[in-house]
């Protein structure tokens, strides 16, 4: 009775410890991976926003405004973005990869975008799932003021959307694999611990009990 109780207590203590270590490691890996994907998305978004901003200024100066939508459409075809918009300071959509929304309801550009004067990430839920929204202000440079007779520091905003579905699917797949690997490792470690306890604890105790009985 004592032998079985001691073996069970040792196995329980070691099993709980191993399970806790595996759970902590799995959680750490998932969080690290999620943070990496987030930084990767921001880096991609910053590159796309910079490209759109530079191209927008060049096209506006050359007065070939129709090329803006073509450029946004090319980014959409390359799957760099899901939707691209150029929004005026009043919130009206000037250019978009979705022609039906041009000059429709104003886009809700947050006021802090112009106050921060830098790219701001955000997320929103659509019918197709969660999307990352990358917003960047369009500065009213000296070259822009020749056509835009305005002294405001910003003319509007660049709004790019990218679907989070592939990233979330990748994170979910890796999370499930980590959980599966953790269960396999837990089972293997438990089996090894059980064999070691039987050899190092149970058998010596059995031998000691047998000698005591003979005495």
User: What is the C-alpha to C-alpha distance for residues 110 and 19, in angstroms, rounded to an integer?
Assistant: 45
138 beta partners: 156
For 116-129, write each residue's pLDDT tens digit.
Answer: 888 888 888 877 78
For 39-78, write each residue's pLDDT tens digit.
Answer: 888 888 888 888 888 888 777 767 667 788 788 888 888 7
The Cα angle at residue 208 between residues 206 and 209, in degrees rounded to 5: 65
SS3 179: helix
User: What is the C-alpha to C-alpha distance for residues 82 and 162, in angstroms, rounded to an integer?
Assistant: 5
Both tokens of 88, joined, read 């005026």
SS3 125: strand
Q: Is the dihedral of CA 138, 140, 145, 150 positive or negative?
A: positive
For 130-141, write each residue's pLDDT tens digit.
Answer: 888 888 888 887
What is the Rg, in whole angstroms, of the alpha carbon atoms belonging to the chain?
A: 30
130 beta partners: 125
What's the mean per-residue pLDDT of the chain? 80
Both tokens of 134, joined, read 């990358």
Contact 157, 109 (CB under 8 A): yes
For 6-30, write each residue's pLDDT tens digit.
Answer: 667 777 777 788 788 888 888 888 8
Domains, the chain, ordered by start: 62-166 (3.30.450.290)
pLDDT of residue 118: 85
pTM, full prediction: 0.72
Question: What is the arithmetic mean of pLDDT over 151-179?
Answer: 85
Which among 89, 84, 75, 91 is positioned nearest to 131, based on CA atoms?
Answer: 84
User: What is the C-alpha to C-alpha distance for residues 25 and 46, in angstroms, rounded to an integer?
Assistant: 31
């Amino acid at each position: 009775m004592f032998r079985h109780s001691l073996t069970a207590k040792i196995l329980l203590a070691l099993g709980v410890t191993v399970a806790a270590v595996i759970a902590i490691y799995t959680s750490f890996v998932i969080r690290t991976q999620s943070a990496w994907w987030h930084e990767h998305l921001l880096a991609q978004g910053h590159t796309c926003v910079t490209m759109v901003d530079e191209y927008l200024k060049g096209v506006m100066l050359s007065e070939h405004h129709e090329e803006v939508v073509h450029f946004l459409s090319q980014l959409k075809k390359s799957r760099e973005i899901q939707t691209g918009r150029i929004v005026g300071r009043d919130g009206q959509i000037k250019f978009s990869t979705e022609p039906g929304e041009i000059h429709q309801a104003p886009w809700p550009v947050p006021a802090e975008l112009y106050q921060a004067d830098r790219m701001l990430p955000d997320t929103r839920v659509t019918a197709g799932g969660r999307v990352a929204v990358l917003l960047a202000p369009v500065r009213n440079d000296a070259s822009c003021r020749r056509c835009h007779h305005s002294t405001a520091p910003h003319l509007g905003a660049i709004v790019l959307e990218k679907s989070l579905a592939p990233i979330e699917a990748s994170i979910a797949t890796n999370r499930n694999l980590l959980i599966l690997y953790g269960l396999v490792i837990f089972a293997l470690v438990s089996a090894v611990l059980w064999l070691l306890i039987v050899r190092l604890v149970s058998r010596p105790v059995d031998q000691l009990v047998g000698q005591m009985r003979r005495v």
